[in-house]
Amino acid sequence: MPNITKLTEQYILEHPSIKDCLKNGLINYSSLSRQITSELNLNLKKNFDAILIACRRFKSKLRKGEVHEKEILKILKDSKIEIKNKIVAVVLEKDIYFGHLISLEKEIKKQNEIFRVIEGVSAITIITTEEFLDSIKKYFRNKIILENKNLAEITIKSPKEIETTPGTYAYMSSLFGENNINIVESLSCWTDTIFLVKEEDAGKVIGLLRF
């Protein structure tokens, strides 16, 4: 037997516009309950009341979360944003010669440019400026899986309170997703949160992060 409460909450969370209307009291519970029943292929007669109650309770949860959201917004309002264009993210196979990676790092940092490495389970991603793409190919030509070019790096420098305020990253990611902005890569270091997006989306990101 399905857990109606969990299914209802998951459905609302997957539909940001419905979540916002529910939180602000701008939705008809009966209509929403019928919609959820229909889209989740549930029996209307058996599940309608349970879904309606779950919607009402979830609204209370969302309202309680408003205080937490205010904390997140204060952090973002006090944050500084830096942007750098002409960025590349190159995905490599994991079994590279790491001596080449060290040589590449020295070459790039000698020019005072960014050099970031994300090591995953099966691949390694190098993030740097486009001018060093040829150098990456020189060292790792046969190990390149994917090249992402024409990117912008957005760095959000936040106050130290971000460490103890859960949900800040999720809030920003959700904000980007709701506005059709794809996050190509992301990483963080202490109070810095870094997103890579397409250059064409950079202006939109800056606009969204003005609090």
- CB burial readout 20-32, b (16+ within 10 A) else e: ebbbeeebeeeeb
For residue range 94-152, list pLDDT tens digits in order: 999 999 999 999 999 999 999 999 999 999 999 999 999 999 999 999 999 999 999 99
Average pLDDT over the chain reads 94
Q: Is the pLDDT of residue 161 over 90?
A: yes
- CB burial readout 81-90, b (16+ within 10 A) else e: eeeeeebbbb
Three-state secondary structure string covering 26-84: CCCHHHHHHHHHHHCCCCHHHHHHHHHHHHHHHHHHHHHHHHHHHHHHHHHHCCEEEEE
What is the value of pTM for the model shown?
A: 0.75
Check the CA dihedral 133-134-136-137 and report its sign. positive
For residue range 187-201, list pLDDT tens digits in order: 999 999 999 999 999
List 88's β-bridge partners, or say none.
128
Residue ranges of domains in the chain? 4-66, 80-208
- CB burial readout 94-132, b (16+ within 10 A) else e: eebeeebbeebeebbeeeeeebbeeeeeeebbbbbbeeb
CATH of 80-208, one of 3.90.1150.220, 2.40.50.140, 3.40.50.10470, 3.30.2130.10: 3.30.2130.10
